[in-house]
Amino acid sequence: MKTSVPCPQCEVPITLDDFEAFSTPFTMKCPHCRVKLKETRVTPFLLLICALMIPLFIYLSELVQSLLSGFIPVVEKIPLIIIFFCVLYPVFALYERFNGLVMFNKGNLHLKHSYNEFWKWFFEHSDEYYHLNEENLEAAFPAIEKQLLKINPALTFEFSVDLIDGKREFIISADGNLDAFPAVEKLAMAAPVMENFKVIAFRQREEASDIQIGDVYLKPENMFFTYTRLDGLLDLDIYLKDSATNDDDCLTAAFILLDAIVGEYDLAVKVGDIEFRPYEEGIFLQPISKLPGLIDQISSEKRSLV
């Protein structure tokens, strides 16, 4: 008998303890990726049991109240809900566990809002996003944010400013949130072929340019690194020249540049700890432009060993 079931999005097991933590069996969210879930096979059966259990719990609470008031008269004035939770909650917990076992073993767990539903909506509004301009940005972007929120709260997006070979790139991102990576991959894989759009999973590597945030101005050529390999990941020390590494705007700019240089997926999956340090003379530092090649080389070595 199964006591857990994988989330249909992130595939991390949802346990009976997780199920019991849901406010009701019919308003479920994955505790790991926070996607809304629904069950389509045994829900009518569970609803019927629920309809039967409510009057039973009321009757049992009244019975317990009546029995206890014969010994402790003040019990008669206590609300039934308090008696229920004080005396009968273990019975309710068993009922919840029974619901979980039925759902895990006989049910069919799905995303509440499917990937196909998103793409159907996007296709119907695709002209708005293909012909983006300052006039429709204010309405168009919140609309797509609302639809992505139904898939996963961590999802975000970008559109290419310019058309590339007549198509606008639609980039779906998890903003570096590993728990939401499966949602990005599955949503992108479910995308239909569209004449005017190229759907891309994760922010890709790009030629990094200078960035300014507040009073901070950071150039890629002023970023250097050293690394250590640990547990299959690269731990990085990033050295910033002519920049204050204790400045929040500086660190934000450095992360944005690093994400652009390495790419969202590789930065989250292949890089471990990152430390930002002031530039130092006299130690062997590599320019940050060498980092993507290093990551690709290590990935290639791993594949050759498999």
pLDDT above 70 for 24: no
DSSP H or E stretch at residue 127? helix 126-130
Is beta strand 168-173 parallel, antiparallel or unpaired with respect to 197-201? parallel
6, β-bridge pairs: 13
CB distance 254 to 272 below 8 Å: no
> What torsion, rounded to 10 degrees, do the Cα atoms 282, 287, 292, 293 define?
-80
| 80-91 per-position pLDDT tens digit | 778 777 766 777
Which two tokens mark 294?
């290093």
DSSP-H helix ranges across 179-290: 181-189, 248-262, 264-269
> What torsion, rounded to 10 degrees, do the Cα atoms 285, 286, 287, 289 define?
-160
Instruction: Give ∠ CA 36-40-46 in degrees, rounded to 5.
Output: 100
pLDDT above 80 for 136: no
Q: 50-65 b/e with 16+ CB inside 10 Å = b?
A: eeebeeebeebbeebb
Reported pTM: 0.73
Residue with the bigger pLDDT between 86 and 18: it is 18
| 166-211 per-position pLDDT tens digit | 999 999 999 999 989 999 999 999 999 999 999 999 999 998 889 9
> Helix (H, G, I), strand (E, B), or coil: what is residue 3?
coil
CA-CA-CA-CA torsion sign (170, 211, 216, 280) = positive
- CA proximity to 267, closest of 208, 198, 210, 213: 208
pLDDT at 263: 95
Which two tokens mark 154?
């961590």
What's at 229, amino acid-wise? R
pLDDT above 90 for 93: no
Residue with the bigger pLDDT between 158 and 2: it is 158
> How far is Cα 249 from Cα 83, in angstroms, rounded to an integer?
56
Q: What is the mean pLDDT of the chain?
A: 86
Give the C-alpha distances (Å, rounded to integers) separating 102 from 22, 199, 223: 15, 39, 56
> How far is Cα 291 from Cα 262, in angstroms, rounded to an integer?
7
